[in-house]
Amino acid sequence: MFIVLATTSCTRHADPTAAAPTPVASSVTVAPLPPSSPPSLLSVPSGSPAAAPSPRVRFVGRFDTRDSAAAKFAWSGSTIVGRFKGTGIAARLRDDGKNRFQVLIDGEPKAVLHPDPSKEMYTLAEGLPEGLHDVALYKRTEARVGETTFLGFVPLAQGTMVPASPPPDRRIELLGDSITAAYGNEGPNAECTFSPADQNHYTSYGAVAARALHADQVTLAWSGKTIGEMTDYFDKTLPARAEPLWDFAAWIPQLVVLNLGTNNFARVDPGETKYVRIYTHLFDRVRKVYPKALIVCMLGPMLTDVYPPGRQNLTLARRYMVATMAKIRASGEANFEYVDLPEQKHSDGLGCGFHPSVKTHQLMADRLVEVAKERLGW
C-alpha cells in the first residue's frame, strides 16, 4: 500500500488551535428553499467499513457528522458528493464568507462558490438536461480560512436525490504545509500575500494526481506549519477543535504522502539530530495507523540554497532527509519511497509568497503519479 499524508470523514474523541482567517467579498447565486424539497444529508464517510448501502451523500475528507443534519468540515479538498435526477441542484451551507468552493457537475468544474455569511441557500446548477447528474462541492481553501457546515443538497424543480456514486477503490492521504494546501497557487506573482481567492486546492499536486490515478484524496495541510505541528494535527477531525478525534479505521489509504520540513528551516537550521527525530516520530505515527500503506516522503520544491544567503537550506534539508530515510530503513521498514523534488523554476511561474504555481503543482503531480504506478501498479 502507498501513503500520502492527508485525511477523510469520521470521528473519534482532542487541543484547540486556530489562525485568524482573511476576510473576502462574496459572489454566489442565492435561491429560496423550495418548500417541497427537503435537504438531503443521509451520508457516510467514503470508504467507511460501516457505510450504509445507498447513501445519498458521500463525504470525502474529515467531517464531524455527530449532528446528522449539519456536517462540519475545514480541511483543504474536503468534498461532498451527491447524485440527483432533475434539471438543477442547490446546496445549504453555513460559512462566515471567507471560504471558496469548486462546484462540479457531472465531473466538470463549473462555478466557484463564495458563500455569503447572511445566506444558507445556494443554487449550484440549473437548466441542465433532464436526467441523472452528479454534483460535488470541493473546498478550495485551507483549514485556517475557517470551518463550514453542510446542511444538505436540495434538488430544484421537483427533482429528487438518488444514491451517490460509489467511491473509487484507490485512496490517497496527504499531510503537508502551504505547498500541499496550494497557498497562492493562482496568485498573480510572488509578491502577493495570502488571499483565499488565490488558493485553489483543486489544482494542487495532490488533487491533480488523485484525479489522474482515479483515486479519492484526503488532505491535512496548514500553511506555515512544521513537522511537529502537523504531527499534532494528525488525529484531528477539525483542526481548531479538541473533539472529535479522527477514527483512522473509517478511511484507510493505500498511499500516504508526507510533504513537510520546509518550515522547519524558516528561521534557523533545526539540526540533523532534531530533524531526524521529529520526522521519524511522524512517520511512526502514520505507520501505526496505516500498517499496509505505501508512505511517500517528499521534499520540495520551495527550499533553495540561494535564499536566505549563506544558509544552504536545500543542501541541509537533503542531507537530513537522507539521514532520516536511512534510519527508517534500518528499522526494517521497506514500504516507503523518498521523492526529492527539483527546486521550482521561476520560468514556470510563481504563486504568492514564492509558492509553487499551478504549473509547478502539475509537475509535482506527474512525479507522484509515476511513483504510484511504479510502486502500486496503479
Q: Which helix (H) or strand (E) holds 173?
A: strand 170-176
Rounded Cα distance between 299 and 315, Å, is 11
How confident is residue 55, by pLDDT bands cut at 50, 70 and 90? low
Per residue in 296-354, pLDDT (tens digit) is 999 999 999 999 999 999 999 999 999 999 999 999 999 999 999 999 999 999 999 99
* Helices and strands, number each (H, E), in the chain: 6, 17
Measured from the Cβ of residue 66, the count of other Cβ atoms closer than 10 Å reads 12
User: How does residue 27 score in pLDDT terms, banded at 50, 70 and 90?
Assistant: very low
- Closest to 173 in 3D by CA, of 232, 234, 121: 234
Enumerate residues 6+ apart whose C-beta is below 8 A from 17.
232, 233, 239, 240
pLDDT in tens, 245-265: 999 999 999 999 999 999 999
Amino acid at 204: S
Q: What percent of the chain has pLDDT over 90?
A: 85
Q: φ and ψ at 340, to 5 degrees?
A: -95, 100
Give the torsion sign (CA, 52, 58, 60, 64). Answer: negative
| Domains contained in the chain, CATH given | 43-162 (2.60.120.260), 170-376 (3.40.50.1110)
pLDDT at 68: 87
pTM for the model stands at 0.87
For the beta sheet containing 215-221, the strands, ordered from the edge strand earlier in sequence to the opposite edge, are 215-221, 170-176, 255-259, 294-299, 336-340
